[in-house]
Structure 1
Amino acid sequence: MKKISAAFDGLKFSEGTLNYAIKLAENSKALLSGVFLESFLYHSYGIYDVVGSQGVSEAKMKRLRENDEETRRISSVVFESACKKAGIPYAIHHDKNFALQELLKESIYSDLVLIGADENMSHYNEKAPTDFIRNFLAETQSPVLIVPRQYHEIEKVVLLYDGKPSSVHAIKMFNYMLPWMCNKETEIISVTDPKEARQLPDENLVSEFIKCHYPKAVYTLLQGDPEGEILDYLKNIPQNVLVVLGAYQRGNVSRWFKTSMADLLLKNTGRPLFIAHQK
């Protein structure tokens, strides 16, 4: 049995994250851990909400805190009810310290962490990729599945390949974590320099490897700037596509999958992203 951890902001509960998590746990026969990040620094209200005519109102603050506690409680009940209805094993964690550090600790003991693309653990709104997501991706100890707020049934998988070990590692981790996805329509996308030969890097080796796990996969070979070509290509395919890509580390990353590549996909595609990198 594998362990999938789904991260939630109990004050802005994501039904999309819940639906993706339930579906993946069902098909993977995995334990689903609902990680509710409840940092003591994070509330649904701002300082101006607790100020009265005599300054900071203790009564207002108490009432707002109680409302937050109730909202978080309801979110965990919704998660628990969904798990029971689906008949999957589950656990619930209420992590009450610094949200980023708590989630990084959870990633050490998880096979996969699932989180919404717009999560920022703040009462402010922030577009994807949020600083919280970027910082988490840079330091996570497990593969991560970033999902949109709106759920779409996954019908196709796109594997991004650039010939670097990080992109192959991501494909390996994806296959390890979600082997049942091999039955989905699968496409391998690679981009070459227009000045170089139009062929896959290490073509014989990668074809042999892919055939073992995704025998029905098709290949698409693009030419040009990897970031621009991939982004343009993905914009023209349906929403029900999951994209697998390699590194996100700040530092030793592949030629393609530097931070800006994942940022572009998070910002512009709105599709689930499976991201894995080697430490």
Structure 2
Amino acid sequence: MQKIAAIFDGLRFSESTLHYSILIAKRQQAHLTGVFCQDFTYNSFSLYQLLKAGTAEATIRQLEAADNEKREAAAGIFEAACQKAGIVYSVHRNRNISLLAALEESIYADLLIVDAREAFVHDDMKPPTRFIRDLLADVQCPVLIVPTQVMVPPVFSDINNVVLLYDGEPSSVYAIKMYNYLLTSLQTLPTTVLSVNPEGNHLENKHLIKEFIKRHFPDAGYKVMEGIPEEEIVSYMLGEAKGTIAVLGAYRRSTVSRWFRESMADVLMQTLPFPLFIAHNK
């Protein structure tokens, strides 16, 4: 049985993370762990501003208690949803720094699921947040980045279409491998290998990648384009129907940059309303 860890901010509970984590866990018959990061440095209010304004200590304690109640209520929502779905689950409450808690959980998980806007800070941030950037740089397992649900009430689509992003680099092949190994329940879905080459309309290592894909996705189709990858991929993906998942690779942070192809990952998280399966080789 696989273990999936879903990362939650109890103060800003992500319905999207809840939906996709239960969907995947149910399909994979996996154990789902809800990780509620109760970061002692993070509250729904600005402690600095309250102290600066001379707010009474009793008032601050009341606000902290209200936050704790909200976090417990969020954990309750998760548990109720898991029970309704009939999946095996557990709840972890971690008061460590949120990033450290998530990274530690990733060591002992097959897959991590997290909302693209997860930040664990008082202010709103656009994706990719610093938390997501740092998480993807050092995470120890593949990650499913899910889009924030903005509709009220939330309306979700099932996963019914797959796009494998391939650029000839080892990281893209590794991501496809991990997706294939982990999400076996999605192997029979309509699948397209998408490749954009700025130097011409051809597929890198054509015979090797086609031989590999045929063994794992025998009915997969191919879409090969010439142009700037960040532009062409986004344009193509925005034309895909609801229920699509994209699979891509990324490198670990180096002394030069956080990601080898930071702009691609940034653009996809900022513009696509689809979940992104991201894995990188070490």
Question: Against the structure 1 CA distance between its residues 49 and 74, is the aligned structure 2 distance closer, same or farther, given a 3 Å change threshold?
Answer: farther
What is the RMSD of the two structures over their aligned residues, measured on CA atoms? Answer: 1.9
For residues 126-153 of structure 1, the C-alpha deviation after alignment (integer angstroms, 9 at most, x for no partner) is 1111111011001101000000122332
Aligned length: 274
Residue of structure 2 in register with 1:9 after alignment: 9
Give 1:101 deviation, angstroms.
0.8
**How big is the shift at 1:252?**
9.8
Summarize the Cα distance change of 1:201–1:51 in structure 2 as closer, same or farther, 3 Å threshold.
closer
Q: Which runs of 5+ in 2 are unaligned?
A: 150-155
Structure-2 separation of matches of 1:49 and 1:250: 34
1:56 partner letter: T
Cα distance in 2 between the residues matched to 1:124 and 1:188: 38
Distance 1:52 1:200 in 2: 59
Unaligned runs of 5+ in 1: none
| Residue in 2 that maps onto 1:154 | 159
Corresponding residue to 1:245 among 242, 245, 248: 248
Checking the alignment, whether the CA contact within 8 Å between 1:104 and 1:140 is kept in structure 2 is: yes
Q: Which residue of 2 aligns with 1:212?
A: 215
Task: Look up the match of 2:94.
Answer: 95
Question: Quick one: which amino acid aligns to residue 129 of structure 1?
Answer: P
For residues 3 and 192 of structure 1, what CA distance do their matches in structure 2 show? 36
Residue in structure 2 matched with residue 70 of structure 1 by the alignment: 69
Q: Is the 8 A contact 1:10 1:38 kept in 2?
A: yes
Offset at 1:86?
0.8
Cα deviation 1:109-164 (Å, max 9, x = unaligned): 11000000000001210111111101100110100000012233211010001111
Q: Structure 1 pair 252/45, CA: closer, same or farther in 2 (3 Å)?
A: closer
State the alpha-carbon separation in 2 of the partners of residues 127 and 117 from structure 1: 9
**Residue equivalent to 1:278:** 281
Answering whether residue 200 of structure 2 is matched by residue 200 of structure 1, we say: no
Give 1:176 deviation, angstroms: 0.8
Q: Partners in 2 of 1:48 and 1:103 — Cα distance?
A: 25
Deviation at 1:193, TM superposition (A): 3.0
Q: State the TM-score, normalizing by the size of structure 2.
A: 0.92
Q: Is the 8 A contact 2:171 2:251 kept in 1?
A: no
Q: CA-to-partner distance for each residue in 1:25-77, whole Å, 9 max, x for gaps? A: 00001000000011100000113774698x23112111101100100000001
Give the match's secondary structure for 2:274. Answer: coil
TM superposition score normalised by structure 1: 0.93
Partner of 1:177: 182
